[in-house]
Amino acid sequence: MSAVYINSAACISVQDTLNRNFLENLKPEYSTLVLKAIEPAYKEFIPPAMIRRMSKTVKMSSVASHHALKEADVENPDAIIVGTGIGCSQDSEKFLKNVLDNNEEFLTPTYFIQSTHNTVAGQIALGLQCHAYNFTYVNTSSSLEFSLLDAKLQITDGEAENVLVGSTDEQTERTMELYQLNKTIKKEENLPIDYLNSTSNGVVWGEGASFFVLGKEKSENSYAQLNDIHIINTLELEETRRFIEDFLAKNNLLAQDMDAVVLGFSGDAKSDLYYKKAAELFIGSSLMYYKHLSGEFNTASGFSTFMACHILKNQEIPEVMMINDLKKREIRNILLYNHLGGNDHSLVLLGKA
């Protein structure tokens, strides 16, 4: 099977990740329940008339994908694959409000048309005039991982040479209210949050868009090699060790071969137990966490993939991400482990390009 390389990485997040010096200015957040993404000046990338009709996730994705393609020096990819958890929820809410306010009569179809999950991939393709394979995965917290897996198969099977892969999710006011009512989001009295040793359930919610160009050929600016991906819907806590060990064995690796491991600690006491179990395996690895920088959301793993790419390329781990104080002289293999509320577990293995 031929190698697959991550040749560019772009991210819009709670951090100023479009800034070249963002690694020096990472700011953790422990005392806010809902974190907003730092948005760029959209008018530099999108015509003003179009901006008004676009939801936040479409705008973020349009800019992030533009940066990813430009960095990889790819004008038109052979495929566009996007993963999202809740899609264009702003337009979904507007449409439903329209239905209620107008007693289901005289409805304009615009909000409904723009509310579908594949709007993001479609808008990017329209902007590029790209008629290639276009697909959207909606698999809660493993949406990006399914997208990466599809892209990897497209490249290794010879169907494509360069694939644009992205993940995106936005917030809406009403959805955040509902998440607080059903206790997905923490209560005010649980602040500030200790992400690594939380005693309360619930998370801090974030948003963002991360895009990557995967290629068959390694370039001078390649970030990483995408080695393997594994996804499982449900997992018992005591099965965590076997889940990871079997994945590593499949790739002829042992726990001690992992130079760094990125764990998705979210501050949710119940589901973070999986990460604590996983951490026990990697006593000789650099352990990292990231959701104190991005917040938790369906495609938060896009932020961790983006950070892992920079760590492999720069061979340096930001102090703010470290769980332990162990640092390897060379970072060759990074394992990313993520889930959302104890469901949809994913493992992504990245190697030095």
Q: Which domain holds residue 149?
A: 5-215
pLDDT value of residue 2: 65
| Dihedral pair phi/psi, residue 156, rounded to 5° | -70, -25
Q: For position 261, which CATH number holds?
A: 3.40.47.10
- Where among 215, 239, 259 does a domain terminate? 215
92-96, 143-147, 178-182: range with lowest mean pLDDT: 92-96
Please state, in angstroms and rounded to a whole number, the distance separating the CA atoms of residues 177 and 29: 20
pLDDT value of residue 177: 92
Strand partners, 287: 261
- Tell me: do 160 and 83 sit in the same domain: yes
Query: pLDDT, tens digit, for every residue of 263-275?
Result: 999 999 999 999 9
pLDDT value of residue 52: 80
Query: pLDDT, tens digit, for every residue of 9-65?
Result: 999 999 999 999 999 999 999 999 999 999 999 998 988 888 888 889 999 999 999
* 288-303: average pLDDT: 98
- Asked if residues 127 and 80 have their Cβ atoms less than 8 Å apart, the reply is no
pLDDT value of residue 248: 98
- Tell me: do 57 and 158 sit in the same domain: yes
pLDDT value of residue 107: 76
When pLDDT is cut at 50, 70 and 90, the band that residue 116 belongs to is: confident
Residue 63 burial by Cβ neighbours in a 10 Å radius (0-12, 13-18, 19+): buried
Cα separations in angstroms, 122 against 130, 139, 283, 288, 290: 9, 18, 44, 35, 30
Please state, in angstroms and rounded to a whole number, the distance separating the CA atoms of residues 249 and 244: 9
Residue 90 burial by Cβ neighbours in a 10 Å radius (0-12, 13-18, 19+): buried
Query: pLDDT, tens digit, for every residue of 192-246?
Result: 999 999 999 999 999 999 999 999 999 999 999 999 999 999 999 999 999 999 9
- Tell me: do 50 and 166 sit in the same domain: yes
Residue 154 burial by Cβ neighbours in a 10 Å radius (0-12, 13-18, 19+): buried
- Tell me: do 193 and 334 sit in the same domain: no
- Asked if residues 77 and 224 have their Cβ atoms less than 8 Å apart, the reply is no
Q: pLDDT at residue 249 above 80?
A: yes
Q: Which two tokens stand for residue 251?
A: 């790739």
In a domain, residue 220? The reply is: no
